């Protein structure tokens, strides 16, 4: 025999089921918040992460997620506080560092942003913090800091322990072109081509500067 429920009865049953299941666990709340972050649902993400921050302090994932959500909701003070906590709890996490740097940039606290990214570059020994710093410096029209940052990225990306990346060479080349230093820009592009001949940005940039792309194009990487 088929049993038919009214909409009201079905709704009541759903509420009863939810009550029996209880509130979501910390992990479930974090997963839910991350899902909302992925789809740009900032308020829903904040609502998911906030109870975790309140009831289970020390979860960097929740501090990070809440910080990102609040930054996108315009509350930069709360966002920075949470992201600084996440950075303390998960040091060296580039996802957290980049989000915190973005908030500092939006707050016009460039000295703190520079200090954060330089510290990360020195401690992590990877090019990523330096490249991020260089790109922010360009936005600030600080070409000296940008050049220093990209040079540091090239230096630490030695290739001894990890594959070399075209990124620091390419970004340095773009900076040099913007400063009217075509010869230096082409040298950096040829180095980038030596790292990877399959990077379409590098190939297009070389062709735009009238450089033939052939077996003699590549230069060895380095300073």
**At residue 60, does pLDDT exceed 90?**
yes
Question: 202 pLDDT band (50/70/90 cuts)?
Answer: very high
- In percent, the amount of the chain with pLDDT more than 90 equals 77
Per-residue model confidence (pLDDT) at position 22: 60
Half-sphere exposure of 195 (CA within 13 A, CB side): 25
Tell me the per-residue pLDDT of 87-114, one tens digit each, with 9 for 90 and over.
999 999 999 999 999 999 999 999 999 9
* Nearest in space to 166 (alpha carbons), one of 191, 135, 136, 149: 191
Q: What pLDDT does residue 223 have? A: 84
* Dihedral Cα 73, 76, 81, 87, nearest 10 deg: 80
pLDDT score recorded for residue 164:
78
pLDDT band at 160 (very low <50, low <70, confident <90, very high): low
pTM beyond 0.85, yes or no: no
- End-to-end Cα spacing for the chain: 81
Tokens coding 219: 């230069």
What single DSSP character describes residue 25? P
Mean pLDDT of the chain: 89
Let me know the angle formed at the C-alpha of 172 by 194 and 118, rounded to the nearest 5 degrees: 115
Give the model's pLDDT for residue 162: 59
* Structural domains of the chain, with CATH: 29-108 (1.25.40.10), 126-223 (1.25.40.10)
Model confidence at 192: pLDDT above 90: yes
Whether 58 contacts 89, CB under 8 Å: yes
Q: What is the average per-residue pLDDT within 198-223? A: 93
Q: What is the pLDDT of residues 8-33, one digit of tens each?
A: 444 444 334 444 456 678 888 999 99
pLDDT at 77: 98
């Amino acid at each position: 025999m088929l049993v038919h429920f009214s909409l009201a009865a079905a709704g009541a049953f759903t509420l009863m089921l939810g009550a029996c299941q209880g509130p979501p666990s910390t992990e479930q709340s974090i997963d839910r918040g991350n899902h909302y972050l992925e789809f740009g649902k900032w308020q829903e993400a904040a609502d998911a992460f906030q109870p975790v921050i309140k009831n289970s302090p020390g979860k960097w994932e929740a501090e990070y997620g809440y910080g990102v959500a609040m930054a996108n909701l315009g509350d930069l003070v709360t966002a920075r506080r949470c992201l600084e906590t996440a950075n303390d709890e998960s040091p060296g996490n580039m996802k957290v560092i980049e989000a915190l740097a973005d908030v500092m940039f939006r707050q016009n606290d460039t000295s703190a942003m520079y200090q954060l990214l330089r510290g990360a570059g020195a401690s992590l020994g990877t090019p990523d913090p330096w490249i991020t710093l260089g790109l922010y410096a360009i936005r600030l029209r600080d070409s000296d800091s940008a050049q220093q940052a990209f040079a540091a990225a090239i230096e630490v990306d030695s290739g001894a322990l990890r594959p070399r990346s075209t990124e620091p060479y390419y970004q340095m080349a773009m900076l040099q072109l913007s400063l009217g230093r075509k010869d230096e820009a082409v040298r950096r592009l040829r180095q980038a081509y030596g790292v990877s001949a399959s990077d379409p940005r590098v190939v297009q940039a070389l062709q735009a500067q009238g450089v033939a792309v052939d077996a003699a194009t590549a230069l060895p990487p380095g300073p």
